[in-house]
Amino acid sequence: NAGVTQTPKFQVLKTGQSMTLQCAQDMNHNSMYWYRQDPGMGLRLIYYSASEGTTDKGEVPNGYNVSRLNKREFSLRLESAAPSQTSVYFCASAWGASNQPQHFGDGTRLSIL
């Protein structure tokens, strides 16, 4: 009964380092999403993948890249981390139709020093 699994749960990086956040879902969902959540800003969409093999930019894509590795997995990469990317990152998945809700992983808390 895992749902959406994110790794790691916590990470501290130095400015300029790179890292990849991993996300996997076991609900056979078509669509997957990456959000960041900052105090006072709410959830903001970084990138999404409507289906396996496709990815699209969301509201705040700069500084990030994504890979939809297969139907289950959707990774988020920071090539050169900046302090402005300190945030809580959530991955979500959904069937993909507009009337379907999204299901979230429990988040990755990332600090960039």
By CB under 8 A, residue 69 contacts other proteins:
no
By CB under 8 A, residue 76 contacts other proteins:
no
By CB under 8 A, residue 63 contacts other proteins:
no
The radius of gyration computed from the CA coordinates of the chain, to the nearest angstrom, equals 13
The smaller minimum CB distance to other proteins, of residues 17 and 22, is found at 22
By CB under 8 A, residue 94 contacts other proteins:
yes
Determine the distance from the C-alpha atom of residue 92 to the mean position of all C-alpha atoms in its chain, rounded to a whole number.
7
The SS3 of residue 33 is strand
By CB under 8 A, residue 101 contacts other proteins:
yes
Contact 5, 104 (CB under 8 A): no
Structure tokens at 52: 């396996």
Amino acid at 6: Q
Compute how many other C-beta atoms are within 10 angstroms of the C-beta atom of residue 69. Answer: 14
Member of 25, 46, 90, 112 binding other proteins (CB under 8 A): 90
Instruction: Pick the stretch among 13-21, 29-37, 65-73, 77-85 that binds other proteins (CB under 8 A).
Output: 29-37
The residue ranges that bind other proteins (CB under 8 A) are 31, 33, 35, 40-43, 45, 48, 50, 58, 88, 90, 94-107
